[in-house]
Structure 1
Amino acid sequence: MKLAAAEIDLSALAHNLCCIKQIAPNAKVMAVLKANAYGHGLVTIAQHLQKADAFAVARIDEALALRAGGITNPIVLLEGFFNASDIPILLANNFQAVIHNEEQLYALEQAKLDAPIATWLKVDTGMHRLGVEPQQLNAFYHRLKNSNNVKQQINLMTHFSCADDTKNTKTTEQIATFARLVDNKQEQVCLANSAGIIGWPKSHGDWIRPGLMLYGVSPMQHQIAHNHGLRPVMKLITRVIAIRRLPANKPVGYGGRWQSNKETILAVVAMGYGDGYPRHAKNGTPVIIKGQRFGIVGSVSMDMITVDIGDNQANIHIGDEVEMWGPNLPVEEVASHADTIPYELLCNVTPRVSYEYLYAKQ
């Protein structure tokens, strides 16, 4: 009996890419595949996003894994490189580097290369994480332009800090700051992450960087994928492995943090924090069994979760499928019950969970 599994719907992935292109029809798409494609499987997801104009990852090992998997699309390293010895690897594999600090710029200028590298210059417009200061942009830009190690087209980018909240004026300020800084530079620009794509049309620019929304999850506060016409790509499922009757006023699980106030029936399901399910999910966090919602009770264990199924009118049996999140139960909702964000839930799915890729019917 197959227990914890992640079903990856590749037709939903293709659908989401189409939706993104409809939202920003004049922008090129840089599909973000970092963190194992947000927990969905790096190489397989890339193989089914060939209509994207480029891919973006965080680190060089992710980019090398894509090349080893036969991916030939342009690949952008969002954090750039971390050591001068990485630069020849970038050139050999046709990787594009994001430059965001003086050390990277100097190393690139000093490198001995047979051909130039494509670069993106990142400016900090208010995220205060990576990026050159606004007053440094012109100096960095001209140094890149004057380096024989850099291709003449230097793309410009920034990153939003609050784009998931359309009531926050911070994004408007960042867009205005970026526009002022790049006004006299004839280069391609990239501002919008998933939240920028949905919430801030003025940020679309020449390139967009969809990440979370590619996988059918809303990047916006208090919204779910369905609000944007997106379809969840991952369905996390398991099975019922035990059914047992619980008398009234009996505690359940480690620490006895929940007890029934009346006699009830519990379904024990094969899922836990060892599979990546959030340990701090609250009592009442929903799961779906036979099309009905039930709430988890007691502490999430490493391998098991208990679910209160009441008087079992749904006629649940050992072996029945349990949907932990997916098309019938938004991961955004589960994240809310666990006081976290959907990004974390998707990325935390562990290797113990088996992956099954569902291909579109021809």
Structure 2
Amino acid sequence: MSRPICAQINLAALRHNLTQVRQLAPHSKIWAVIKANGYGHGIVRVAQQCSSADGFAVASLDEALILRQQGFLHRILLLEGIFQPEEMPLVEQHRLDLVLHSPHQVEWLLAYQPKFALKVWLKLDTGMHRLGFDPVSFAQSMLKIRNSLPQLRLNLMSHFASVTEDTVFTRQQQVCFEQQAKDYQCPMSLANSAALQRLPQTHLDWVRPGIMLYGAGIMPEFRSLFQPVLTFQTQIISLKWIAQGEAVGYGQTWVAQKPSLIGVAAAGYGDGYPRHAPSGTPVLVNNQRVPIAGRVSMDMLTLDLTAIAGAVNIGDPVVLWGEGLPVDEIAEKAGTIGYELLCGITQRVPIKEIEREPDHVR
């Protein structure tokens, strides 16, 4: 018998969320971003459920090759481009869309001289200062490629840094992109998940939904439209009463203020639950919110079940995040983001696939 913990993947929710993206950006094509093993959901599993997307976006060549080996013929965008010039033949062989973000990548491309009309995306740094050309080198690189490889199909893209935190800076990024792009007639991509929700004017030719496909990172005004795809769940494996003044867990950081029922759930940081989640972080037990009590252990969480003492038993279900408890809420409590929690579920946690349509579309 295995431990009762599992990550439940709702396949219907993935398809539903992609449909919602299509409705938010009806005039744009969709890159379904499935890097980092589909944000922890399984890259092949996500690709299968999002097969109606116009293309897939991944971080690297190895992720793209997994999709090609599984028979996916979609366009695949290499978001970080290539990491060494020896990768160029595989990019051409598998007809991958190639992002160029630095002059050295342009030189690798020019030295290789592809025979076919590859689709190349020049990335403009509009202020995030992570990847991308500054405006001067952007124009120079565009000219180089056009003169040396006129058969290539050029595209433009950039990436927003803080749509939800800084609207002034976001507008500056948008203006920068528009100023640099105005002289080019080619497909363009600017909107990530946040901009897709908040800035319809940035949808352009292609949108790049990532975290929103998985039902996280959703703005309040759109939460009713999207469904969590992954529910991280386990069971109660122990129950005991402790007296007022008794402490629970490592470091004795939580002390009972009254006689308290302590439950142990089979989950911990060895499974991907955030170790720094503080006491008070909620879980759902029998659909009731109860708080963590004490530090997260490698394999166990201790919970204060006093409030539901008459309605809890060994084996009762515990939702760590997912349906009824957004992963973003747990991430905020732990001082991180939902992306990290979804990507951080460990390999020892089994995956269970289900098909459950959202209530409002059944």
Q: What TM-score results when the alignment is normalised by the length of structure 1?
A: 0.95
Which residue of structure 1 lines up, in the alignment, with residue 274 of structure 2? 278
Matches within 5 A, 1:324-339: 324-339=320-335
CA distance in 2, matches of 1:174, 1:205: 15
Equivalent residue, structure 2, for 1:296: 292
Task: Identify if the C-alpha distance between structure 1 residues 334 and 311 changes in structure 2 by more than 3 Å, giving closer, same or farther.
Answer: closer
2:60 touches 2:81 (CA, 8 Å); kept in 1?
yes
Partner of 1:178: 177
2:223 pairs with one of 226, 247, 253? 226
Aligned to 2:317: 321
In structure 2, which of residues 311, 323, 346 is the aligned counterpart of residue 350 of structure 1?
346
- Same amino acid, percent of matched pairs: 41
Post-superposition offset of 1:141: 1.0
Question: Partner residue of 1:92?
Answer: 93
Quick one: distance in 2 between partners of 1:186 and 1:68?
A: 34
Is the aligned partner of 1:258 residue 2:250?
Answer: no
Can you list the C-alpha shifts for 1:93-134, whole angstroms capped at 9, x where unaligned? Answer: 221110011110001101154434221000000110000011
CA distance in 1: counterparts of 2:64 and 2:310, whole angstroms? 47
Deviation at 1:360, TM superposition (A): 5.4
CA distance in 1, matches of 2:92, 2:68: 13
Alpha-carbon shift at residue 224 of structure 1 (Å): 8.5
Instruction: Give CA-to-partner distance per residue, 1:50-91, whole Å, 9 cap, x none.
Output: 110010011111111111222211100000001010000111
Asked if 2 retains the 8 angstrom alpha-carbon contact of 1:225 and 1:232, the reply is no
Deviation for aligned residue 1:38: 0.8
Alignment coverage as a number of residue pairs: 357
Query: 3-state SS of the aligned residue for 2:161?
Result: coil
Q: Offset of 1:246 from its aligned partner? A: 1.1
CA deviation map 1:26-55 (0-9, x unaligned) = 000001001111111111110110110010
Unaligned runs of 5+ in 1: none
Q: Secondary structure at 2:240's aligned position in 1?
A: strand
Aligned position for 1:66: 67
User: Where does residue 111 of structure 2 map in the other structure?
Assistant: 110
RMSD of aligned residue pairs (Cα, Å): 1.7
CA distance in 2, matches of 1:80, 1:251: 52
Cα distance, 1:219–1:359 mapped onto 2, change above 3 Å: closer
1:204-255 Cα offsets, whole Å, 9 max, x none, are: 11000000000001255xx48625x111101000111111111111111111
Query: What SS class does the counterpart of residue 153 from structure 2 fall into?
Result: strand
Deviation, 1:151, is: 4.3
Q: 2:270 aligns to what SS in structure 1?
A: helix
Q: TM-score, normalised by structure 2?
A: 0.95
Contact persistence 2:118–2:153 (CA under 8 A)? no
